[in-house]
Chain A
Amino acid sequence: MKELIRKLTTISSPSGREEQIRNIIREEIKNYCDEVKEDTLGNLIAIKRGGETKIQFAAHMDEIGMIVTDIDEKGFLRFGNVGGVSPHRLFGQRARFQKGTIGVFGAEKIDNIKDLTLDKLYLDIGASSEKEAKEKVSIGDIATYYHEFSDLGDRVIAKSLDNRIGCAVLIEAMKRATNPQNDLFCTFTVQEEVGLRGARTSAFGIEPDLGIAIDVTSTGDTPECERMAVKLGQGAAIKIKDRSLITHPQVRDLLTTLSEKNSIPHQFEVLPFGGTDSGAIHLTRAGVPAGVISIPCRYVHSPSEMIDLKDVEAAVRLAVAVMENKVEL
Chain B
Amino acid sequence: MSDNHLIELKNISVSLGGEQILKDLNLYINDKEFITLLGPSGCGKTTTLRIIAGFLRPDEGEVIFGNKKVNDVPPHKRQVNTIFQRYALFPHLNVFNNIAFGLRIQKRSKEEIKDKVTEMLSLVNLKGFEERDINSLSGGQQQRVAIARALAVNPKVLLLDEPLGALDLKLRKDMQVELKNIQQRLGITFIYVTHDQEEALSMSDTVVVMDGGVIQQIGTPIDIYNEPKNAFVADFIGESNIIDGIMPEDYVTEFAGQRFKCLDKGFAQNEPVDVVIRPEDVDVVPLEKGMLRGEVTSVTFKGVHFEIIVDVQGFKWMIQTTDYEEVGNKIGIYVEPDAIHIMKKSKYSGLYGDYSSFSDEIDLLSDVTYEEGDGNG
A and B: bona fide binding partners: no
